[in-house]
Chains A and B, each alone.
Chain A
Amino acid sequence: MKIDRAAGSTKQDPAYVTKTEQDPAYVRRAGPGFWTRLVAVSLLLAAPPLAAQDSQILAAMRDELKRSMAELRMKGEAPPYYIAYEVLDRTLSDMSGRLGSIVQNPPRRVRTLRVEVRVGDYAFDSSRFAIQGFGGGPLTGETVIAPLDDDYDVMRREIWITTDTAYKRAITMFARKKAAFQNRTASDPLPDFSVETPVETILSSNEVRLKPDHAPDLQSDAAARVQQSSAMFASHVDVDVSEVALSQVHGTRYFLNSEGFAAITPIQIAGLTIFGESQAGDGMPVRQTFNTVGRTVADLPSAAELVARAKELSAGVTASRVAPIGDEFTGPVLIEGVGSAQFLAETLVPMMQARRPPDTENPRMAQGGASPFLNRTGLRVMADSFVARDTPSLTQFGGKPLPGSYVVDDEGVRAKDVTLVDKGRLVTLLTSRTPQKNFPQSNGHGRSGTVLAGVFQIESTQAIPAAELKQKYLALLKAQDKAFGYIVRGVRPDGQGDGGPGIEAIVKVTLDGQETPVRGMRFGNVAATVFRDLAEASHERAAYSYRAGAVSAVTVIAPSLIFEELDIQRVRDILQKPPVVPSPLK
């Protein structure tokens, strides 16, 4: 339910559309006196009243912010033009299981304070500048451990000291940056920080005020899931190492800046990983991973489902051990199910994020990493029938909550639903408050200190049923005179720099439709142009979510896809001999 009537005169933010009735969010534009009205508003809405701790923390943040903006300056130096405070109050719970026994620690509660101070102005400031030996990267603020007690005095003292440090660093950095730039001619000057309209976003959630001793009960239900699924591996003697690991983060994020942006948002992420590894006779490691991310432990699969996953995974590892190594291949590739979403997460999604590498004191330190699509607005980047969007407002898909969904980004900007590609043509990119060439404003995707997608989805207007995709694929192979092709069903990030994503599950398919599992394969480098040659897509789509940063997740929703041309290569691992002593499970 969306409410916007605190002062009776502010307008609704048109960008914000809540998709479910359950979402207990209210948002409004900022105005003077907001914080004093807060309590009244809460009562008016019969929403849970802000607990005392919120007011203690927020009051300390607000008071020190006000004082610092008014008074913090060093003689002869620029005063801060922007200050932001972020408090993350998190309870972390972890548990893992191996062969049915549990390793678990009690939940830990951590509160961190991050203070960002900028000097200069929006066009040119102390941010986005990397200096050798100055912690390496650009200033992203000072982060310290903050007190867990809800004590105004102690919190404010912590904020005071940390703001002082952050300001001193900012003026040092600003001086270095100005010095470096005074003899450079800028060919394409871009502002350092975008100007946005301040907005306040207060999300109430039952989880927000949980104390560690009220942490969702990981003990019983989750322990059973971890224990039972990890026990599955005990009967698979060919799996040399296995683990089921569950982790949950929940808490509250408080954000306040000197422009009037403010946000209080719940932090809720839970993840579970099942991992199994073995070695083929030739020494090649074979591993499989199952990852799932939800908002809470309750969103994760049931014990029965996890047991089935673990069985499937150990059977997969056992089968891969004896599977042949595949042949290298360039040609049409069919990527199925969740593998397709995983593939896009590693390839297309980063290209849609308008990240801007920092400027550097030493130009040789310059980092690449800008999107290949910066200059392609209006041009074709995908096949004609494709639409790509990022819809952070979408909270559910297929009846399951989507962890990538969010209301406000880490910079306090409201998340906008964005159409990125329409009829194959690039419309825009995902942006934060760091302006990028051709993309001067934020569309609310500044998360985890960079630009992140929220709920990224693609679909085709000419989709066909998934069941017909394989026949289409075989026909394509035949048309290209290929003797065989590959169907990829699982994709993972790959640490090796020069290639594309790693492959978790792949079968070789011959023209008669016969499938043979193979191992030891990965994608070659995936160019930005391959999406122009997407041949087919299914109606059915699968969602895949992953964690990105401490408190963020991204969801990708994608159909199964046939690419006209991709490279599949052999992995180039250094192979270790198998263990000298046989496994104790044998």
Chain B
Amino acid sequence: MALVCALEGVAAQTPRPPSVTSILHSELQRNMQVLSKQTVPAYYAAYTLHDATTTQILASFGAIHRSEESRQRFATIEVRVGDYALDNTHPMRGDARAMSPRLMQVSLPLTDDEKPIRQALWRATDRSYKQASEALTRVRTNVAAKVQEENPAPDFSQEEKQGYVGSTSSYTLDAKGWEARLRRVSAVFAEDPLILRSQVSLTVEAENRHFVNSEGSQIVTGEVGCRVFVQGVTKAADGMELPLYTSYFATSPAGLPDERQLMADARAMVDLLGRLRTAPLVEPFSGPAILSGRAAGVFFHEIFGHRVEGNRQRNVEDGQTFTKRIGQSVLPSFLSVVFDPTLKKVGDVELMGHYIYDDQGVKGRRVTVVEKGILKTFLLDRAPLKDFPRSNGHGRAERGFLPVSRQSSLQVESSRSVSREALMNQLREEARRQGKPFGLLFENIEGGFTTTGRGSPNAFNVLPNVVYRIYIDGRAPELVRGVDLIGTPLAAFGKIIATDDRIDVFNGMCGAESGSVPVSAFSPSLLVSEVEVQKKVQSQETLPILPAPPARRRS
């Protein structure tokens, strides 16, 4: 027996094929033996069992709102009918109401009992097969009835079978200790009566995944993710809501920041919220700006990353900004963009975008999408493109969704980097050159969205929440509020003129077609010669009518 007896930790059990994998495997074989011989034959099936243990503790203004532990087991079932060239997942053209293919999902008992697991898988496989065969009928008609496809590629790539049994993961957590800690950290926000909403939460999840498919792959992986999320929302006198967020990620509870740091960061947030409340509003403006490393990471994720996802190049409804630009310049020549799921850390910061295998059982690979400004490839799942027949391990999905090509850890690399100080000076110079009294510094971004479809303008809108005016006359930076950063992608990338040498990491969840997946993005700060900002959507709700109630003394 191991002698280690940590209070909190992550346990890795000795690798050994768990029997549940063999149950999945044999039930899959049993079903495929019959389904592959039908008139509309199934040619591929995959089962993934997700076994997740989660602890969530949520505190607000000094009190616990939720403290729960749960364990759940689900299986997702994918059945494909037809063949690798044309199957039920083929994109339907000219039918806006066509349902996108979904996976079947069933809950399973928590023990490795064969009968109930097999019965659940069998039922779901049957439904999945029937839905797939109905879909194939629609696909075949659609292919026959519509104009010839511009870029026909097979629907499913051929990949080598994989065998991998990683360690399954679990964690131990001092829940009472964390409750007390989160109470204390969240109580900091109660000191400001104008912070109307606030929460401090801890989520720890151990997920063990068992993947088997009809091509012979068997993969077992286990991961632990721990996240602390801190949020505070205040309101300016004009009703504008001002939210700030901070989050921390680690692969073990011990890797999370200690209470002293959490308290300090909470106090800093309370202070910043107070200053934001009285910060002046920015009028619509165009001019030079710096995006800090985190902001630049989010910016690239939203505006660039989503446009190099392979599935968008297949979809004729999509804007396909980059589809035909392989080998061409898409970014300034001093920038490269790499997606690397194999990377676990940057400096001390662990990355949420890390994984060993993607959700289609393909090994995650480092992919240089842009090298010195030139577009080299796309992020690929098992739906190939004409010149890219194989996956590069970016087929990802939230449990229950059909995987499509998604981002992992995005990394912006620069060969034209200067110090932060020099970059600030360049910003002032650029503003002066353009005859502007100031440039903008986007210190933080809460998120953003972008449309890539053809039916609407291909624009982006990112939502900065900490913005400063940097005056050319050397005045101190001035905190401002009320702007969104808008633009169109191709124009925006051409205007990046320099970067600094400080890498900053954004860890977060990204939502798209295949649900919400963990991603990372990191980048140096970027100097952009021209950005455009517009006024934020503003809440018309006033401040609370009555002042906060008098606090009783807390004993």
Residues of A participating in the B interface, judged by any CB pair closer than 8 Å: 63-64, 67-68, 71-74, 97-106, 108-111, 145-149, 151-157, 160-161, 164, 167-168, 234, 240-241, 576-577, 579-581, 583-585
Contact = CB atoms under 8 A, between A and B. Distances in A.
Contacts of A67: 546, 549
A157 B548 contact: yes
Nearest to A159: B549
A104 B113 CA distance: 15
Contacts of B123: 240-241, 579
Interface in B502-555: 541-542, 544-546, 548-549, 551-552, 554
Contacts of A161: 196-197, 544
B63 A148 contact: yes
Nearest to A242: B119
A394 to B, nearest CB: 37
26 contacts: A63-B549, A64-B549, A67-B549, A71-B546, A72-B545, A100-B116, A101-B110, A101-B113, A102-B110, A102-B111, A103-B107, A103-B109, A104-B110, A106-B68, A145-B65, A156-B549, A161-B197, A164-B545, A164-B546, A168-B542, A234-B115, A577-B130, A580-B34, A581-B35, A584-B118, A585-B119
A416 B60 CA distance: 41
B63 A154 contact: yes
Contacts of A74: 545
Contacts of A109: 67
A151 B190 CA distance: 13
B549 A160 contact: yes
Interface residues of B, number: 52
B551 A579 contact: no
Nearest to A77: B545
Contacts of A111: 65
Contacts of A146: 65
Interface of B: 27, 30-31, 34-35, 38, 60-73, 107-111, 113, 115-116, 118-123, 125-126, 129-130, 183, 190, 196-197, 541-542, 544-546, 548-549, 551-552, 554
Contacts of B126: 579-581
A98 B116 contact: yes
Given A147-B60, A161-B196, A167-B545, A153 B66 contact: no
A151 B63 CA distance: 7
Given A71-B546, A98-B116, A149 B110 contact: no
Given A105-B71, A160-B549, A161-B544, A585 B115 contact: yes
Given A101-B115, A154-B63, 10 more contacts: A71-B546, A98-B109, A103-B109, A106-B69, A147-B60, A149-B183, A241-B123, A580-B129, A581-B122, A583-B119
Main SS at interface, chain A? mixed
A168 B546 CA distance: 12
B62 A579 contact: no
A577 B40 CA distance: 15
Q: Which 3 pairs, one residue from A and one from B, show the smallest C-beta to C-beta distance? A: A147-B63, A101-B109, A149-B63
B14 to A, nearest CB: 25
A73 B546 CA distance: 9
A153 B193 CA distance: 12
Contacts of B546: 67-68, 71-72, 160, 164
Contacts of B125: 581
A153 B63 CA distance: 9
Contact of A151 (B108, B115, B554): B554
Contacts of A97: 109
B66 A110 contact: yes
A148 B126 CA distance: 44
Contacts of A148: 63-67
A160 B546 CA distance: 8
A491 B66 CA distance: 39
A67 B550 CA distance: 11
B148 to A, nearest CB: 34
A141 B284 CA distance: 39
Q: Which of A146, A583, A584 has the most CB of B within 10 A?
A: A584
Nearest to A239: B119
A168 B542 CA distance: 9
Contacts of A103: 73, 107-110
A239 B63 CA distance: 48
Contacts of B122: 579, 581, 583-584
Q: Which of B38, B63, B72, B123 has the most CB of A within 10 A?
A: B63
A146 B65 CA distance: 6
Contacts of A153: 61-62, 190, 549, 551-552, 554
A194 B189 CA distance: 42
B70 A584 contact: no
Given A98-B119, A101-B111, A164-B546, A108 B68 contact: yes
A73 B120 CA distance: 57
A102 B72 CA distance: 11
B549 A154 contact: no
A580 B30 CA distance: 12
B116 A101 contact: yes
Contacts of A576: 130
A157 B34 contact: no
B542 to A, nearest CB: 8
B527 to A, nearest CB: 42
Contacts of A581: 30-31, 34-35, 122, 125-126
Q: Which of B70, B71, B120, B544 has the most CB of A within 10 A?
A: B544
A455 B315 CA distance: 59
A105 B549 contact: no
Contacts of A241: 119, 123
A520 to B, nearest CB: 22
Nearest to A151: B63
A101 B107 CA distance: 12
A73 B121 CA distance: 59
Contacts of B27: 584
B426 to A, nearest CB: 45
Contact of B38 (A72, A149, A580): A580
Q: Which of A109, A157, A241, A585 has the most CB of B within 10 A?
A: A157
B363 to A, nearest CB: 31
Given A106-B70, A234-B115, A581-B34, A151 B545 contact: no
Contacts of A167: 545
A206 B122 CA distance: 46
A67 B115 CA distance: 61
A538 to B, nearest CB: 41
A101 B551 CA distance: 50
A286 to B, nearest CB: 15
A156 B546 CA distance: 13
B115 A584 contact: yes
A145 B61 CA distance: 13
A430 B125 CA distance: 49
A310 B283 CA distance: 70
A104 B110 CA distance: 8
Nearest to B73: A103
A483 B243 CA distance: 74
B65 A147 contact: yes
Nearest to B108: A103
B547 to A, nearest CB: 9
Contact of A105 (B60, B66, B70, B544): B70
B184 to A, nearest CB: 12
Nearest to A241: B123
Given A98-B119, A146-B65, A157 B545 contact: no
A63 B546 CA distance: 14
A152 B60 contact: no
B30 to A, nearest CB: 7
Nearest to A582: B34
Contacts of B113: 99-101
Contacts of B61: 147, 153-154, 157
